[in-house]
Amino acid sequence: MSNKIKLLLALVLISVLGIVYYQKTSFIFIKQNDDFGRISYDSDVPCVQMYFAIKKYAQEYNVPEDYAFTVAYLETGYRGPLHLDYNHEQTSFAGAHGPMQVMLKTARWVNKDNVSKETLISNIDYNVRTSMKLIRQLKNQYKDWSVVFGYYNTGHPIVNGYAIKVINKNYTWKTDI
């Protein structure tokens, strides 16, 4: 049985039964919390980390999940929790880093810290949180999702093709496990 099929079956069992899945280099623990319907997880699998970080921070910063997942897809080709060969440690030609392609200067401004480029690239949780926090700040300022995503893409409050793709939720996979 291929690793992808094993992981898919494990994710189904985990989501239904709240069990543990262990593979030589991958550990996933997902537990349903009946009080709030939230899912907690522990995983060293980047595609799974991305999935839950996006769900967590989209909710925390009141960013529609479809928009958040579309940004991840457009920025780094993220295709969901079963995208096992997903590379979150990308840097663009413009100098944007990590899974949501955040500029170092922007991350420092949004978080009021002195984050390193290495952390921005490698820490999925930090990168996604920064992205969702920035998107929420832009939405509060500009009030229009199209302008928000144009700004996210260019650094200027415009509506462009990228923004239209996000608004149209231009990704090809379903976000639910």
Q: 71 near 152, Cβ under 8 Å?
A: yes
pLDDT in the model for residue 170: 73
- Which helix (H) or strand (E) is 156 found in, with range? none
Architecture of domain 45-167: Orthogonal Bundle (1.10)
In the chain, where the domains are located: 45-167
Q: What is the pLDDT of residues 135-167, one digit of tens each?
A: 999 999 999 999 999 999 999 999 999 999 999
Assign 3-state DSSP to the chain and report helix, strand, coil percentages, each to 5.
50, 15, 35
What is the amino acid identity at position 135? I
**Residue 158, helix vs strand vs coil:** coil
d(CA 127, CA 120) in angstroms, rounded, equals: 6
Q: What is the pLDDT of residues 76-115, one digit of tens each?
A: 999 999 999 999 999 999 999 999 999 999 999 999 999 9
The angle at the Cα of 161, spanning 155 to 167, to the nearest 5 degrees, equals 90
pLDDT in the model for residue 44: 84
